[in-house]
Amino acid sequence: MHSHRAYGVTRLHFLGLKQNPLKLHEPTALAVSPLLRELLIAYTERTDRETPAGKRMRSVLLDQLATASERPVRVPAARDPRLAAVCATLETDPSDARGLEALGREAGASGRTLTRLFRDEMGMTFPQWRTQVRLYHALRLLAEGQPVTAVALRCGFATSSAFIDVFRRSLGHTPGSYL
């Protein structure tokens, strides 16, 4: 199960694919090149997708999707109630800088237990998960038109340059270009 939320001015184009031609095993964000973007728009606006021209466009679209790189902004949900409490705290306030021991005291778990739960349930370490939450929150704020410096501080980055560096390494471009 997954869900979608849109923030800021958004125009959505949905494409349903049969039989998982991309061989993805979970919801995944992909980098969209200018060509892929235009193909998605043109194909989803077509009413004649089953014509020879529509089928050729779909074929090129699938080729472009197959070579698109993954963008690793994913925030998995916790199942364990103690871990879920810690996650909820940080999702509400990603600038909260407390470590796992302090967060664990509120949730009724030790830092070691939470470290193990992050690895087992989330498939990542706590710092990796926290960075994903901060980037996810930053994308929302940027979509709403917030300035980069304000976004950096609201998401818990010490400086805007640290935020820009993490954003670029994770998403392949700067927050300013995202705006």
User: How many whole angstroms separate alpha carbon 95 and alpha carbon 155?
Assistant: 5
| Residue extent(s) of CATH 1.10.10.60 domains in the chain | 81-178
Q: Say if residues 39 and 60 touch (Cβ distance below 8 Å).
A: yes
| Class for the domain spanning 81-178 | mainly alpha
Tell me which residue of 125, 83, 130, 128 sits closest to 107, measured CA to CA. Answer: 83
The pTM (predicted TM-score) of the whole model is 0.73
Mean pLDDT (the chain) is 90
Range 80-100 average pLDDT: 96
N residues, the chain: 179
Q: What are phi and psi of 17, to 5 degrees?
A: -120, 130
Q: How far apart are CA 73 and CA 134, in angstroms?
A: 10
Predicted confidence (pLDDT) per residue in 134-163, tens digit: 999 999 899 888 999 999 999 999 999 999
Is the pLDDT assigned to residue 74 strictly greater than 80? no
> Average of pLDDT values for 55-70?
92
| Predicted local confidence at residue 73, as pLDDT | 67
Query: pLDDT tens, 111-124?
Result: 999 999 999 999 99
Here the tokens at position 137 are 């929150």
Q: How does pLDDT run across 1-43, given as a tens digit for each residue?
A: 667 777 777 788 888 888 888 888 777 778 888 999 999 999 9
7 closest CA partner among 169, 130, 136: 136
pLDDT surpassing 70 at residue 78: yes
User: Residue 71 pairs with which residues in a beta bridge?
Assistant: 29
